[in-house]
Homo-oligomer: A and B are copies of this chain.
């Protein structure tokens, strides 16, 4: 079936190392031979060995640490997201976000940092969806960082029109750090339903990769929600950037062999 054409040296070394990792020759956390040693072993230039390791790093199989070595990455699959459809109902019944509900179900501790709450000029989509002025500082932005068992898993940015926020809706929750912003909305008489949801896969921006500690080559999920209140008026837009290697989806799913 497959033509099995001769692999170029860098790919061949990468393939060999991949197998060695798969069959347990190198376990999670183990250090791979150094570039110079690999080059000598496979009778090739250091560049070539380096390229091989680069391929594995891009696949997220190994972590490369400058000055130290390349280590087999731990395959963390902690949070299983999106396990239930109709999460609006779930949210209303439990008062928990899908993330929080799932994390708690799995016995993970949850922590939410709120590194920034500020009045900003809205990104184009946000302005459009909330029907606010795209030129002035017409929205309040609240940034959340979510951790499960102290592992960063998700960044959330919630945008609310300034008139609605009145400087308090988002800020009032800041100190508690519970991040249960929907509960706060309810207290203030806003019953929010998420009516629109878009999702994409993309590579993280450098800042995001730093916060989420994603290895090179590992993409993130980028989800945008729009929430309307009980009068059908757009109330908030939330953008989540999630680590994709923590969602628990079994990648072998689509493998046919």
- Contact residues of A with B, CB < 8 Å? 59, 80-86, 88, 120, 123-126, 141, 155, 157, 194-203, 205, 208, 217, 219-222, 224, 239, 241, 244, 247-256
Report the separation of the CA atoms of residues A84 and B196 in the bound assembly, to the nearest whole angstrom.
5
A-B residue pairs, 5 tightest by C-beta: A201-B201, A219-B219, A201-B244, A200-B249, A201-B219
- Can you list 8 A-B pairs, Cβ within 8 angstroms, ordered by A? A81-B198, A85-B194, A86-B86, A123-B253, A199-B199, A201-B201, A201-B244, A224-B249
Q: Does B249 contact A222, Cβ atoms closer than 8 Å?
A: yes
Question: Is the contact region of chain A dominated by helix, strand, or loop, or is it mixed?
Answer: mixed
Q: Does A123 contact B255, Cβ atoms closer than 8 Å?
A: yes
Report the separation of the CA atoms of residues A191 and B82 in the bound assembly, to the nearest whole angstrom.
23
What is the count of identical protomers in the complex?
Answer: 2
Report the separation of the CA atoms of residues A157 and B248 in the bound assembly, to the nearest whole angstrom.
19
Nearest Cβ in chain B — how far from A22, in angstroms? 15
Nearest Cβ in chain B — how far from A51, in angstroms? 11
Partner of A195, one of B85, B195, B199: B85
Most buried by B among A200, A219, A220: A200
A224-B253, A241-B254, A249-B198 are contacts. A203–B59 as well, Cβ < 8 Å? yes
Report the separation of the CA atoms of residues A199 and B252 in the bound assembly, to the nearest whole angstrom.
14
Q: Does A201 contact B224, Cβ atoms closer than 8 Å?
A: no
Contacts of A82 in B (CB 8 A): 197-199
